Amino acid sequence: MRFRQPRAALALAALCCLAWGAPAHADGALHSLWELHGRHNTVYLMGSIHVLRPGDYPLAPPMMAAYAGAKSLVMEVDLGELDSGDVQTEMLSSALLPQGKTLADVLGPQRHARAAALARGIGVELSMFDQFAPWFVAEAISQLQLAQMGFDPQSGVEMYFMDRARSDGKTVAGLETAHDQIALFEAMSWDAQAEYLIASLEQAHDLPKEVDDMVHAWQRGDTHWFEQQLREDLGRDPGLYQSLLAARNRKWVPKIEALLNDDRDYLVIVGTGHLVGRDSVIDLLKKDGIGAVQR
């Protein structure tokens, strides 16, 4: 998903899914990077953090080597789509509440009071989002917090490699479209969106430490850390887990497997949560007889 990586209620993660592959070593020998081998090519699977700080660069040499060897880049979504006027219009339409409704209306008195108090506790007035859907409010507030901590979507892993790919003349494609991602949130009921917002705000005070922990876990390829976080967060809502992670993984795996029939090397970049644990891309590939080696 492109809206916010450490989705407080989602995955502290993206960036927010869950333990698999070789265990991570304390000496930092492993990274959030896996290799698949076809008959004539290699497909690299890189776990991303959708927002990073400029100081988190340079990336580890194995990640840079995977990019250098790949002829094509595949991401969750081709970020070039986000510049489209049609996509921007669709996103705004999805983010806005229907005419005549307010955030207070869809949350209800008790949840709205709770959300307003939690938001005020981190210096945000909920009233500024009165015309927006709860899912968007959760995303926007997290983005505000991340910006205050120095995180920048322009410094995210996907944006970094997409800019390099454009300069290097490599092709860029998406496993799904921006419309697909927007539709995930549109499909959520008002009640589910309300709970998503409350859960996100309840974790807001812990976000600075959790994000810092997430970056460190990602840098050392610590799949167990991501598994634990996802179990704690998404385990509370099996429906959300299925729609945002497991179902998407199942749709992506045939597309990734098809890349192994090519003679070009590919770098596939998705949120790290999609590559660790039960029902992850790595797990589903294994069930299809395709082994992935963590690097």
pLDDT digits (tens, 9 = 90+) for 267-282: 999 999 999 998 999 9
Q: Alpha-carbon dihedral of residues 17, 19, 23, 25, nearest 10 degrees?
A: 40
- Residue predicted with more confidence, 133 or 15: 133
pLDDT tens digits, one per residue of 226-246: 998 887 766 667 777 788 889
pLDDT tens digits, one per residue of 11-70: 333 333 322 233 333 344 799 999 999 999 999 999 999 889 999 999 999 999 999 999
Percent share of the chain, pLDDT over 90 = 72
CB-based contact 34:275 (threshold 8 Å): yes
Average predicted confidence (pLDDT) for the chain = 87
- Residue predicted with more confidence, 221 or 82: 221
CB-based contact 292:36 (threshold 8 Å): yes
Tokens of 19: 């333990």
Question: For residue 153, is the peptide bond before it cis, meaning its omega torsion is within 30 degrees of 0?
Answer: no
